[in-house]
């Protein structure tokens, strides 16, 4: 299980969104043990960056269906 903070850092490095563009991972309660416990969202980006973002998120759905949020 990865931590949300580490996933966001990896996502920012991979996508390199424009300054001020929000990338968000939100944890939620699942309905089953095989369901992901997170939802991803982003602000507006140019097409190529959006493609990189979508590919990364789709890959994580297979490799990291569960994340753990760390409250500070």
CA dihedral 56, 58, 60, 62 (to 10 degrees): -150
pLDDT, position 70: 60
Q: Where is pLDDT greater, at 33 or 65? A: 65
The rounded distance, in Å, linking the Cα atoms of 43 and 25 is 12
pLDDT, position 2: 79
For 5-61, write each residue's pLDDT tens digit: 888 899 999 999 999 999 988 888 888 777 888 889 999 999 999 999 999 999 988
Asked if pLDDT for residue 72 goes beyond 70, the answer is no
The rounded distance, in Å, linking the Cα atoms of 53 and 63 is 15
DSSP 3-state percent helix, strand, coil across the chain (nearest 5):
40, 20, 40
- Which pTM does this prediction carry? 0.79
pLDDT, position 71: 57
The rounded distance, in Å, linking the Cα atoms of 23 and 40 is 8
């Amino acid at each position: 299980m990865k931590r949300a903070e580490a996933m966001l850092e990896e996502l920012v490095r991979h996508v390199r969104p424009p300054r001020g563009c929000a990338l968000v991972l939100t944890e939620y309660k699942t309905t089953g043990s095989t369901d992901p416990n997170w939802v991803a969202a982003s602000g507006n980006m140019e097409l190529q960056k959006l493609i990189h973002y979508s590919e990364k998120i789709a890959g994580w759905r297979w490799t990291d269906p569960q994340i753990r949020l760390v409250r500070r």
